Structure 1
Amino acid sequence: MWQLAQRSKELWHGLADREGPWEAVEWQRTGSLLLASNSEEAGKLEAQAECLKAAGVQAEMISASAVAKLEPSLSIPAEGGGMLVENDAQINGRNSAFLLLNICRVLAQDAGGEFDCKFGEGVTGLEMDGDGGVVGVTTSAGRRITATRAVVIAGGAWSSDFLAQQLKDNRWKGVIAPRMGQLLALTPPTDMPALTRGVMEMSYSKHYQEVGRKSAEGSPADESAPDITFTATTSASGELLLGSSRQFSGFESSAGLETTAAILKRAAEFMPSLSASAAAVSTLLAGGSPEEWSDGLVRTGPRPWAATGLPFVGPIPGHPRLYIAAGHEGSGLTLAPVTAEIIEGYISNGGTNVAGAEALAPEFLLK
């Protein structure tokens, strides 16, 4: 995945540079810090840093005191440490989505065609020929849209169950599922030193190492409570973005203040300046007045978790002209350009030369 992430970063860099200005997507070369809270985590983090360096990523293991010097708002135990990746960058997800839509419109116009987004009009079915090849789709508006070259299923957490139903192939049932989560956006406390890098605790990375967590029924392992891991970054506009929670609760929102309080409590363990904010939310919960919290915004939605631990990107076996690009969970924004490059290669050339793409092929992942 590191190869793909590096390639995608190159593509993002090119898109932002070509379409500009970079400010439109809030491109920030902030660097990142992955934090270890104890000696055991520090040892694992050091091994991870070596793996990244072997993959061509500039990663450096630093001490807890060096972490505090780089980011004075952070506090971790002396036996901990951090992995510093100075070349990491971040962008604004919403702004970047609009940029990609605009690029699609421009490319279509340049080719003498038209790019038409039918927001609010969901696909309800696939139309296939006698050989299983996809020839079009039907929509909730009763429209039939012909596929002259391809259909790409990019429906996030809804993708695999849709395919299971349409293709009558239970191998797809539940292999991509919603994992609901929260992200908080708030004004940094006035006494908090500015956070200049993207930071997260080491356990955050475990979410990209969980492979095959499926029950016999094909659904993710049950989690009655959200899993909370600390992440923090500062947007270009100065908002403090805090995360995060993950919970297998179907498509039910996990936007309760209990989850918000848990995120703030965990964040305060790494950023002491947030202690007052965490205490204020806990007080509201204890008083039964959760609706009174107004110190920040809560963003919530379903991340498309993949049972294989990897997204599905490529052609769907046995069904010519049908492709999938789904299951990226929290890496969708990072991997969006390289995902498009892989799919374009399959459609235009019958294959892809993107290094590492073969590991994401449905033919390989569904075995």
Structure 2
Amino acid sequence: MASASTFLSHPNPQANDVVSSAICQFKSCSFASQSTLFGSKFASKSLSLHTATTRPACASDSEPISASHSHQTFDVLIIGAGIIGLTIARQFLIGSDLSVAVIDKSVPCSGATGAGQGYIWMAHKTPGSDLWDFGLRSQRLWEDLTESLSEQGLDPLQLLGWKKTGSLLVGRTPEESDMLKRRVKLLCEAGLRAEYLSAIDLLVKEPELMVDKDTGAAFLPDDCQLDARRAVEFLEKGNRHYSSKGRYAEFYNDPVISLLRSGGSGEVEAMKTSRNILYTKKAIVVAAGCWSGSLMCDLLRESEVVLDVPVKPRKGHLLVLENFNSFQLNHGLMEVGYVDHQTAIPLPNISTSGLLDHDGQTLSVSMTATMDTAGNIVLAANLLGSARNWKNPSLVVYGTELGNSFPN
């Protein structure tokens, strides 16, 4: 999920095509399943899926500054080569004359960027919450970027895998439908386009979806999605145009080990990686995603700084069904349990057969489904401590309760 970002609206005038090399390679396997959500069209269908494996840092015509030197100096050092880290680098490169280095313990798309579905959805976010303003600004900045690309005669679908599909937050009980009606009202009051769909209206939007009389959905027509790998290729290619000017370098497969301080002032002046010592004139930016908290604690362990970064990884599964043509999904689908993931609370009286997180909270599974730009079905399930019973997700996707596939 999270392809939320801090994209600027400034286009890179030199990034006029897509890097042709793939960000990730895939291992393929297959399985068969029967559908209870989409009926017999899915029954006994052999499905191809893949899991991502990282590749070496790719080469291009605009190869970044060589990372073989043991000592180099840059204005800004950015830890993390996901969408966020590469976008921050892009802003510095476009909006200033600063030099930038991006450092990563692996390669792009090896973390949350590669594991995310590329959804830029607001349906499950609550106005006034901590994530609301961040998510709304992220969506608008992505839209600014796509508009600027279109004005240059470029295709956001080709460059970023960008699609304005709209999203459906689906409930299966009368209580969930009532909650969705209240949510639609709240979203409209916050300035978004949203409407409640009854079971009949929902079936018009998604003819292959199995619904009953109690099924309903919140529909946000302006929600979007992108292909995270294409977006990373776009960012890398644009950033690498500045390498020939001595302003950009990438240090992949080169984890940060420690910070180095000045002997006189005690200020941080460099970082030591597994292969390099990189000096900074201006700043170090940590954009390591869910690893930012643990990384900062490690880097500052010997200092007097008391740091609490409340960012932790959470368990999730992403499944890509390749060359799937049994039916078409018109929008992004999300089960109503995603709303609970914004404000997880313990519920000790629910029996979870031992499936509890480290804080003793009930574990929740919420699922999503959409089609990517290549026509593949993308299924995702996130596991999080919350008040929902993990054994009873409100949306059973493609005939298999993905919640039951999680290990204890």
Deviations 1:222-262 (A, max 9, x none): 579x74222100011100011213269xxxxxxxxxxxxx9
Query: What displacement does 1:39 show?
Result: 1.4
Q: Which residue of 2 aligns with 1:137?
A: 271
Q: Which residue of 1 aligns with 2:381?
A: 244
Q: How big is the alpha-carbon RMSD for the aligned residues of Structure 1 and Structure 2?
A: 3.6
Indicate how the Cα distance of structure 1 residues 56 and 105 shifts in structure 2: closer, same or farther if over 3 A, else same. Answer: farther
Q: 1:177 aligns with which of 296, 299, 312?
A: 312
* DSSP-derived class of the 1:148 partner: strand
Q: Which residue of 2 aligns with 1:231?
A: 368
* DSSP-derived class of the 1:176 partner: coil
Query: What displacement does 1:96 show?
Result: 0.8
After superposition, residues 227-306 of structure 1 pair within 5 angstroms as 227-246=364-383, 270=396, 274-275=398-399, 278=400
Query: What displacement does 1:211 show?
Result: 7.3
Query: What displacement does 1:25 show?
Result: 1.3
Indicate how the Cα distance of structure 1 residues 174 and 66 shifts in structure 2: closer, same or farther if over 3 A, else same. Answer: same
Q: Which residue of 2 aligns with 1:304?
A: none
Deviations 1:42-68 (A, max 9, x none): 222222222222221111111121111
Q: 1:104 aligns with which of 226, 239, 247?
A: 239
Indicate how the Cα distance of structure 1 residues 190 and 167 shifts in structure 2: closer, same or farther if over 3 A, else same. Answer: closer
Contact 1:71 1:196 in 2 (8 A): yes
- Sequence identity percentage: 25
Partners in 1 of 2:325 and 2:331 — Cα distance?
18
Indicate how the Cα distance of structure 1 residues 39 and 56 shifts in structure 2: closer, same or farther if over 3 A, else same. Answer: same
Deviations 1:200-235 (A, max 9, x none): 01101222223799xxxxx952579x7422210001
* DSSP-derived class of the 1:97 partner: helix
Contact 1:60 1:85 in 2 (8 A): yes
Partners in 2 of 1:98 and 1:212 — Cα distance?
40
Deviations 1:135-174 (A, max 9, x none): 2211011x22111111011112221122223324786467
State the TM-score, normalized to the length of structure 2. 0.54
Q: Which residue of 1 aligns with 2:27?
A: none
Contact 1:74 1:270 in 2 (8 A): no
Q: Which residue of 2 aligns with 1:197?
A: 331
Indicate how the Cα distance of structure 1 residues 187 and 101 shifts in structure 2: closer, same or farther if over 3 A, else same. Answer: closer
Contact 1:180 1:247 in 2 (8 A): yes
Q: 2:255 aligns with which of 105, 116, 122?
A: 122
Aligned-partner residue type, residue 3 of structure 1: D
Query: What displacement does 1:198 show?
Result: 0.3
Q: Which residue of 2 aligns with 1:150?
A: 283
* DSSP-derived class of the 2:313 partner: strand
Aligned-partner residue type, residue 98 of structure 1: E
Contact 2:168 2:217 in 1 (8 A): yes
What is the total number of aligned residue pairs between the two structures?
Answer: 255
Contact 1:199 1:233 in 2 (8 A): yes
Q: 2:340 aligns with which of 202, 206, 213?
A: 206
Indicate how the Cα distance of structure 1 residues 81 and 238 shifts in structure 2: closer, same or farther if over 3 A, else same. Answer: same
* DSSP-derived class of the 1:238 partner: coil
Aligned-partner residue type, residue 233 of structure 2: F
Indicate how the Cα distance of structure 1 residues 76 and 183 shifts in structure 2: closer, same or farther if over 3 A, else same. Answer: same
Indicate how the Cα distance of structure 1 residues 59 and 93 shifts in structure 2: closer, same or farther if over 3 A, else same. Answer: same
Partners in 2 of 1:75 and 1:2 — Cα distance?
31
User: Is 1:221 aligned with 2:221?
Assistant: no
Q: Which residue of 1 aligns with 2:171?
A: 36
After superposition, residues 299-338 of structure 1 pair within 5 angstroms as none
* DSSP-derived class of the 1:147 partner: strand
In structure 1, stretches of 5+ residues that fail to align are 214-218, 249-261, 286-367
Partners in 2 of 1:109 and 1:191 — Cα distance?
46
Partners in 2 of 1:86 and 1:188 — Cα distance?
26
Partners in 2 of 1:116 and 1:28 — Cα distance?
31
Indicate how the Cα distance of structure 1 residues 200 and 171 shifts in structure 2: closer, same or farther if over 3 A, else same. Answer: farther
Partners in 2 of 1:188 and 1:234 — Cα distance?
11
Aligned-partner residue type, residue 178 of structure 1: P
Contact 1:75 1:270 in 2 (8 A): no
Contact 2:338 2:366 in 1 (8 A): yes
Query: What displacement does 1:28 show?
Result: 0.8
* DSSP-derived class of the 2:164 partner: coil
Deviations 1:251-292 (A, max 9, x none): xxxxxxxxxxx99x969x655xx33xx49xx9xx9xxxxxxx
Deviates more, 1:179-188 or 1:169-178: 169-178
After superposition, residues 5-24 of structure 1 pair within 5 angstroms as 5-19=135-149, 20-22=154-156, 23-24=158-159
Partners in 2 of 1:10 and 1:173 — Cα distance?
30
Query: What displacement does 1:182 show?
Result: 0.7
Aligned-partner residue type, residue 81 of structure 1: G
* DSSP-derived class of the 1:117 partner: strand
* DSSP-derived class of the 1:29 partner: coil
Partners in 2 of 1:81 and 1:3 — Cα distance?
26
Indicate how the Cα distance of structure 1 residues 78 and 51 shifts in structure 2: closer, same or farther if over 3 A, else same. Answer: same
Higher relative contact order (CA 8 A, sep 6+): 2
Q: 2:297 aligns with which of 153, 164, 170?
A: 164
